Structure 1
Amino acid sequence: MKHHFDNADVPAGCPAHQNVQLYGPEFGSDPEAHYAYLRAQGPSAPVDIAPGVPVELVTGYDASLHILQNPATFVRDARRWNALKEGRVPEDSPALPMMSYRPNALFSDGAAHARLRQAVTDSLATVDELQLVRQAQQSADYLISRFSSDLRGQAELMAEYAQPLPLLVFSDLFGCPPDIGDRVITGISGIFEGTPGADVTLGGALAELIALKHRRPGEDLTTRLMRHSANLTDEEVLHQLVTLLSGGTAPLAAAIGTSVALYLNGDWPADLPAEDAVVQTLWNYAPIANYAAHYPTHDVELAGRILRAGDPVLISFAAANTDPKLSEHRELLSSKAHLAFGAGPHACPAKDPAFMIAVTAMETLLNRLPDIEMRVAFKDLAWAPAPWSRSLVTVPVRFTPRAVKPTAAQSGAASATHTAHVPTAGAVPQPGATRPKQQPKGGLFSRFLAWTRGE
């Protein structure tokens, strides 16, 4: 749906001398209208990303690509942020956890960035693709098993499937034992939910994991980061793990939920491959909507606007991907030319694993529950109001109840922490049938591992 604003019908915060507010329910309910209004100002425009936090938002595809591919002029080190250095950012601002400097590849430049990123990319390159698909399938089957036998035949896929699935996969890839995996999931989930003390929980769990890998190294990402020739300190390893978790879980959950909802909505052909469905989601509903703060090293002119040195310039991946100017030559672009994973030296190093996980999650769900359908039309679903991501709040579905149980491992495949099993769909439970035995104690990761062992 296209929206047109006149002087009496503009997004919140747009009256004269005020920035567009890129947060809150009004923005969350219709971000496309806000982007359309901003595009009328040029390839970039000033917005408030949070109360009292002005930034320059880049909405044009070409302008976004120019900034992402010019690290000499546009750097990522948030310690350059003028307003933060001058005490003009509210201490309780929700922008601080998203934009403040951290000693990781995301917020580094030059040689420091190259060193940290190389350690991450080299470690990710050792992940076996078939093993990753098996891990994703196994995690998907476990989560489906938790709601598929419900005689109501209903589930809410964001909370019960899309959100926990990446957390299980990453905990496995990191080589977490059950108790640490439970706390990693609790911590990162709490950070996204704004739970007090969640960052302490996550940091403590990862520090314990690193200490464990010093004593008992394994075939996992944590050990590979620690043993990389870049000689990362334990603190640096911890922050790279946090970056992988934060950048690879919530956006991945959004991509899974949106892809499934769009597919089930019936707008796409029934035989559309899952790979194409996920690509369409990444183009039209970029999970990381507005992020990647850059800081000009000197005053820069962009289409007649002056971007001041040290003032944050954010990329609207969502707006850039849907830039109307792309429609003129969209058919000439590669299907991977979208900016959902960024571009340039800071492009997501885990884009290929993330894409495989999203595709596997979608395929497994459709295969295990072949008659699954939406209970609410896609157009009536609510979106989270945060400016950083484009994520559905809920994806309510219905299906014919059936059991999903683990079976013996095939071809002796093993993950970093446990023997892999390939669950299969079983018979539909009948009324009055014996209820499943009580779930093992512990958190989500502990219960998942126990399920893979048939406990």
Structure 2
Amino acid sequence: MQQRSGMQGPPPGCPAHGNVQLYGPQFGSDPDGHYAHLRSLGPSAPVDIAPGVQVELVTSYDAALYILQNPASFVRDARRWNALNEGRVPEDSPALPMMAYRPNALFSDGAAHARLRQAVTDSLATVNELQLVRQTQASADYLISRFSSERLGQAELMAEYAQPLPLLVFSDLFGCPPEIGDRVITGISGIFAGTQGADQVLGEALAELIAIKRRTPGEDLTTRLMQHEAQLSDEEVLHQLVTLLSGGTAPLAAAIGTSSALILGEEWRSGLPVEDAVTQVLWNYAPIANYAVHYPTHDVELGGRVLRANDPVLISFAAANTDPRLAEHREQLSAKAHLAFGAGPHACPAKDPAFQIAVTAVESLLNRLPDIEVRAPFKDLSWVPAPWSRSLVALPVRFSPRTIAPAPARKAEPRAAAPETPAAAAPRSAQQGAPKHKPGLFSRFLAWTRGE
């Protein structure tokens, strides 16, 4: 495991001068140094996750595992949040979209959580592994074809490959018609970029998708969620889709980007499989760095500190995975003992598909561009200065230009049929006066797979 800290003494924001700030350029430039300092304060310490938003951050592997596996004392329902209920959280806080309650499995407990999670896990279990690999490969081929033919052998992999690839795969898995898939991608990308109104764009697109699937079911995750015996309402289906998108796309993008950078770096030992690179990233550069908000049901003493009932406790997966106390036991631990996918009743239900997508994405890149190389050493790459994820800002690469042929045309599916969309059902005169939809990323991808 990797530890580094360029800090001299306590960082600005240390408890002697106020809470450590887990956001901004200083945190982004040296997250490991911040975690090392926080560990010196005990298994957990108070931090500011955003301006005016204090949480208790757990940096110890053992303490994190204890909380994740103790649902009786630590629950996920954000409606308990003391500071929010007392009006002490800024209304425009960037922490709210990540921490505020939503009616999904992530923020539910007990029987409500079991019902929603079962619907998600059963639906995910129907995804065919071979089909998932082919979807990922097709998405990879399309994106590589764009930047390999449009540039003179240079690209920025985060923006042009790692970030859009999971969005294409998920839009396909959800059974999105082209225009709705475009809006889903615009909405979820905007949420992570902080674009105003992005959550409304995503919500409206998913609501339309659900309405379409009510009329014309398909062989997709959306339909399976809707037809599950748990009988989810349309609102519940929508929020489970949002959870899958937000929990799957940004962390996957981070994993794909960091794994690519690692395996293309000078220090990577030639001949090791891609699976090893992805596993190392999950251990040392956890894509979801700090999350899994818990609320103690009663005051809990942890390492000499008292965690107050209903005050938020965040798990630092990044710090827990690189806990120095694990070093002496690392050889005895399973390669999957990391906490990048969480643990306990709320562990990620899609960890196996996520791992498969990340591995396939990196393998596709290496196979299509065998001479690709990173234009900067791994140690010099910059990280996004956000508390929630560990993701590279950019990944500049060079390679020999080439053209990737279109994927074989796929059989047309009912979901893309014109009668399913509201526009197609409108009178012809109304359609003539409506502005023509400009094809977005998903529309262009589907057209490419058809050889258009």
> TM-score, normalised on structure 1?
0.92
Please list every run of 5 or more consecutive structure 1 residues that lacks an aligned counterpart in the other structure: 419-439
| Candidates 418, 442, 447, aligned match of 2:444 | 447
Once residues 220 and 264 of structure 1 are traced to their aligned partners in structure 2, the CA distance between those partners, rounded to angstroms, is 35
Cα pair distance change 1:124/1:15, threshold 3 Å: closer
Cα pair distance change 1:416/1:375, threshold 3 Å: farther
Once residues 78 and 41 of structure 2 are traced to their aligned partners in structure 1, the CA distance between those partners, rounded to angstroms, is 26
The one-letter code matched in structure 2 to 1:57 is L
**Maintained 8 Å contact 2:5/2:30:** no
Per the TM alignment, residue 150 of structure 1 is displaced from its structure 2 partner at its CA by: 3.2
Per the TM alignment, residue 241 of structure 1 is displaced from its structure 2 partner at its CA by: 0.1
Please list every run of 5 or more consecutive structure 2 residues that lacks an aligned counterpart in the other structure: 417-436
Per the TM alignment, residue 92 of structure 1 is displaced from its structure 2 partner at its CA by: 1.0
**Maintained 8 Å contact 1:173/1:416:** no
CA displacement 1:59-101 (0-9 Å, x = unmatched): 0000000000001100000000000000000111111111000
The 10-residue stretch of structure 1 (331-340 or 148-157) with the greater mean CA deviation from structure 2: 148-157
Percent identity (aligned): 80
Cα pair distance change 1:151/1:49, threshold 3 Å: closer
Cα pair distance change 1:276/1:63, threshold 3 Å: same
Kindly indicate whether residue 175 of structure 2 is the aligned counterpart of residue 178 of structure 1. Answer: no
Which residue in the other structure is 1:90 paired with? Answer: 90
**Maintained 8 Å contact 1:135/1:415:** no
CA displacement 1:410-443 (0-9 Å, x = unmatched): xx8888968xxxxxxxxxxxxxxxxxxxxx9500
Per the TM alignment, residue 10 of structure 1 is displaced from its structure 2 partner at its CA by: 1.8
Kindly indicate whether residue 247 of structure 2 is the aligned counterpart of residue 228 of structure 1. Answer: no
Which residue in the other structure is 1:352 paired with? Answer: 352
The one-letter code matched in structure 1 to 2:392 is L
CA displacement 1:102-148 (0-9 Å, x = unmatched): 00000000000000000000000000000000000000000000011
Matched pairs, number: 430
Per the TM alignment, residue 381 of structure 1 is displaced from its structure 2 partner at its CA by: 1.2
Which residue in the other structure is 2:240 paired with? Answer: 240
**Maintained 8 Å contact 2:381/2:392:** yes
The one-letter code matched in structure 2 to 1:199 is D
Once residues 329 and 354 of structure 2 are traced to their aligned partners in structure 1, the CA distance between those partners, rounded to angstroms, is 27
Q: Secondary structure at the match of 1:236?
A: helix
CA displacement 1:217-247 (0-9 Å, x = unmatched): 0000000000000000000000000000000
The one-letter code matched in structure 2 to 1:344 is G
- Alignment map for 1:322-333 (pairs within 5 Å): 322-333=322-333
Kindly indicate whether residue 198 of structure 2 is the aligned counterpart of residue 198 of structure 1. Answer: yes
Kindly indicate whether residue 400 of structure 2 is the aligned counterpart of residue 403 of structure 1. Answer: no
Once residues 407 and 260 of structure 2 are traced to their aligned partners in structure 1, the CA distance between those partners, rounded to angstroms, is 26
The 10-residue stretch of structure 1 (371-380 or 358-367) with the greater mean CA deviation from structure 2: 371-380
Kindly indicate whether residue 418 of structure 2 is the aligned counterpart of residue 383 of structure 1. Answer: no
Cα pair distance change 1:407/1:79, threshold 3 Å: closer
**Maintained 8 Å contact 1:175/1:416:** no
The one-letter code matched in structure 2 to 1:119 is A
Q: Secondary structure at the match of 2:150?
A: coil
The one-letter code matched in structure 2 to 1:360 is T
**Maintained 8 Å contact 1:441/1:447:** no
**Maintained 8 Å contact 2:73/2:298:** yes
Which residue in the other structure is 1:436 paired with? Answer: none
User: Cα RMSD over matched residues?
Assistant: 1.5
The one-letter code matched in structure 2 to 1:442 is P
CA displacement 1:204-227 (0-9 Å, x = unmatched): 000000000000000000000000
**Maintained 8 Å contact 1:289/1:390:** yes
Per the TM alignment, residue 2 of structure 1 is displaced from its structure 2 partner at its CA by: 3.1
CA displacement 1:315-368 (0-9 Å, x = unmatched): 000000000000011000110100000000000111111100000000000000
Once residues 220 and 26 of structure 2 are traced to their aligned partners in structure 1, the CA distance between those partners, rounded to angstroms, is 43
**Maintained 8 Å contact 1:136/1:165:** yes
TM superposition outliers: structure 1 runs of 4+ over 4 Å: 412-418
Cα pair distance change 1:47/1:407, threshold 3 Å: closer
Once residues 332 and 36 of structure 2 are traced to their aligned partners in structure 1, the CA distance between those partners, rounded to angstroms, is 24
Q: Secondary structure at the match of 2:219?
A: coil
Kindly indicate whether residue 188 of structure 2 is the aligned counterpart of residue 188 of structure 1. Answer: yes
The one-letter code matched in structure 2 to 1:375 is R
CA displacement 1:22-61 (0-9 Å, x = unmatched): 1100001000000000101111111111111111000000
Which residue in the other structure is 1:435 paired with? Answer: none
Once residues 405 and 3 of structure 1 are traced to their aligned partners in structure 2, the CA distance between those partners, rounded to angstroms, is 46
> TM-score, normalised on structure 2?
0.93
Per the TM alignment, residue 405 of structure 1 is displaced from its structure 2 partner at its CA by: 1.1
Once residues 392 and 415 of structure 1 are traced to their aligned partners in structure 2, the CA distance between those partners, rounded to angstroms, is 36
Once residues 314 and 105 of structure 2 are traced to their aligned partners in structure 1, the CA distance between those partners, rounded to angstroms, is 17
Once residues 161 and 415 of structure 1 are traced to their aligned partners in structure 2, the CA distance between those partners, rounded to angstroms, is 26
Per the TM alignment, residue 268 of structure 1 is displaced from its structure 2 partner at its CA by: 1.5
- Alignment map for 1:51-450 (pairs within 5 Å): 51-408=51-408, 441-450=438-447
Once residues 61 and 412 of structure 2 are traced to their aligned partners in structure 1, the CA distance between those partners, rounded to angstroms, is 43
